[in-house]
Amino acid sequence: MAPFSLPLLLSVSCTTVSEILSFICKNIKILGIIFTNGLSITPHVQHLATSSAQILYALNILSAHCLCRLAIQAVFCSVILARLLYASPAWWGFAGAQNEQKVCSFLRHSTWLRFYSSDLPSFDDLCTPADQNS
């Protein structure tokens, strides 16, 4: 069978449709969660870390302009924690040690910046009730 040509002038020697799809589809986004074709969620955690870091920067600017700490913590919980906890029962089980460390490190950094209260539970503790409720 002749090689399959992609529009970007890439030539692939694939004989079946599934081989073509496995070559083309490296990541898939299902309901906002990014999985790789090996069921890894590393791209999802990287996306969460990047977008959350941008929000932390905005919160840092707000705190520099005298927004009170309680208001900043409320914004942090309603925006960043909501993003992290969104569909966590679906992806937290696929998280490896490196991904878990990245999320926990982000929350420790947020605690150091006083955006996340140290009295609140860890991410593991937050995911456990969410997993049991689903």
- Answer left, alpha or beta for residue 92, where phi above 0 means left and psi between -120 and 50 means alpha: alpha
Residues 17 and 58 in one domain: no
Residues 36 and 95 in one domain: yes
Whole-model pTM over 0.75:
no
Q: In the chain, how many domains are there?
A: 2
Tokens of 114: 């006083």
Residues 19 and 57 in one domain: no
Q: Is the predicted pLDDT of residue 1 greater than 50, yes or no?
A: no
Residues 56 and 116 in one domain: yes
Quote the CA–CA distance of 34 and 51 in Å, as a whole number.
14
Tokens of 27: 């990541």
- Three-state DSSP at 87 gives coil
Q: Is the predicted pLDDT of residue 5 greater than 50, yes or no?
A: no
Give residue-wise pLDDT tens across range 15-51. Answer: 566 655 555 667 778 888 888 877 788 888 999 999 9
Q: So what's the pLDDT on residue 79?
A: 92
Give residue-wise pLDDT tens across range 90-114. Answer: 888 888 889 889 988 999 999 998 8
Range of the domain at 6: 1-26
Residues 41 and 82 in one domain: yes
115 — phi, psi (to 5°)?
-90, -30
Residues 86 and 125 in one domain: yes
Residues 126 and 105 in one domain: yes
Residues 41 and 21 in one domain: no
Residues 20 and 40 in one domain: no
Percent of the chain with pLDDT over 90: 20
